[in-house]
Every structure is written in structure tokens, then in C-alpha cells.
Amino acid sequence: MKQKANYKPKQILLSKRANVFYLEHARVLQKDGRIIYLTDTGEDVEQYFNIPERNTIFLMLGKGTSITDAAVRRLSESNVIVGFCGSGGSPLFAMSDPVFLLPQSEYRPTEYMQAWVKLWFDEKRRLDAAKALLQRRIALAEAAWRGNTFLLERQILLANNKIEIFKHRIDTSADTTSLLLAEADWAKSLYASLAAGCKINHFTRNEGQGKKESISDRVNSFLDHGNYIAYGYAAAVLNTLGISFSFPILHGKTRRGALVFDVADLIKDAYVMPLAFECGLNLKSSDQDFRSGLIEVVHEAGLVDLLFDFVKEVVHID
């Protein structure tokens, strides 16, 4: 009898994958051809759970976690990005790459990176790409906020005058510095609208505090958590297209992973901010509730497809 050849099921397209995992106090390993994680329950018999790696975009490992080389190798074969982070999903710690451990493949496309580099070294095209990024952020935020039940119940809307002012400043900006100033004012207006609608007095955006003593602290904690999930999606898209994180169009030209921050912004205004305030107000909401909610809306809205399409549009490659 002929032996059956080893069969590997086809991978799901990255943009169609449904799963993102965040683990704490767990061991990730390969067992019987599967990726599993063991939980530390303190009992004699450890519980283990499967990770469907072929339907997973990225995996975040929090405090008290470990992973075997065999598991990393299999995750890499399935094009799953792995990152180590602090409690609650942030901050991400320095790795071989500043954002995530990336699957190493010599068969990723080259045309996107080549086109992106040509764009990046052309100052006018790079500025135009940054403007396109901000315009797309406005469009996504408008659409998402109009369909958000939590915001509608509290009559929290994107003010038309703020939108028009931001669009005008984008159109008339002659350099990146002007765009960054306009973006900062836009972000402040979004926080102000959300805080006023949620009746949170004197809200200030404080990153990396790790506190949950007040509603403002809870919102800030969820914002940190959500931003790093957004970075994971952006990193997965850019890595799949073979584009280096070192060629940003707006943020941090001295930071090696800044392009991840640029692309992740397409998710933040539209989805991370509103959900962070919603979960911040609900004292029963946990990190797991927030994480599950964000992953669900990202999947339902087809945002990974959108991120792929945007990057391709910027470099004019279909």
C-alpha cells in the first residue's frame, strides 16, 4: 500500500481570519500536530485548549507565559505573528522586531515594498499618502460612529464643524509637521466629545498608567489595550505584504516600527476609542470583555480587508 503524503490543510486568507489571542500565565506548545496552551490552575491535572492557528491573525503573550520553539515554528508556518507584552496587552516589549515576532518567509511579495520605497523617497508622494491616511480615518470614524448604538444613545456625534476644519487643515498642510498638529487637535476633539457624552469630567489621555481606580483610569487602560491590538492587525497586514515597518508616512521617522502606528490609526478613531469609553463606564467590563468586543467588531466590519486595500491603494497596486 502507498503511504499517504503528509497533508496540510489550506490556510485561511489572513484578511478573513477570525481569531486573536491574548494569554496570561500559560504555556504554549505543540502537541500531536496542534498548537495548544496549558493554563496554570494550581490543580494536579492541567487544562489545555487548542489554538486554531490557521484561523488566527496574531497571538499576544502576557505575563507569566512561555512558548516552545516547536510552537513558534508551526505558528510561523501558518503566518501567525507573536508578540510578548505586559499585563492587559500593553506595553509590547522589545523583540527581534520592535513590535512583534514576525514569521520569516522568503516567499512574501516584493512589489509592495519596492513601490512603497519609491513613494517614501518622493517627498510630495509621501505627504499625499499621509493626507490620504488622515482622510480615510475621518471617513471610517464617521461611518462607525453613525452605526454605534452606545454613541447614538448618548447623542455623541462627530461635529460637522470639527470634521470640516480637520479636512481643510489636511488639504492645506504643506508638510508633515502641520499634519501632525492637525491630527493632535482632531484626537483631542474626539476625546472631548466622548468624555462629555459619557459625563466624565476632566478626562485626560494618559498612556501606560496601568491604573483602574477611576472611570478615567479604566478608559485609559482600555485605550492602551485596544491600541496594541490595533498595532497587531497593522503589523500582520504590513508583514504579509512584505513592507518594512521602517518607512512611515506620518509618525516617528526615527522609530523603526512607526509605519505600524500609521496603519493602526485607521482602527483607533473608529472603533478603539468608542469601545474603550463604553467599557470604561461599565464597571463589570473586564479586559477580556473589551478584547472580545474589539476583535468581534474588527472582524464583522472587515477591517483587515480594508487595511490591505488601503495600503495597496497608496502604492497604486491592485
**Which residues belong to the annotated binding site?**
183, 251, 265
Round to whole Å and give the CA distance between 287 and 73: 29
Round to whole Å and give the CA distance between 191 and 184: 11
Q: Binding site membership for Mn(2+): which residues?
A: 183, 251, 265
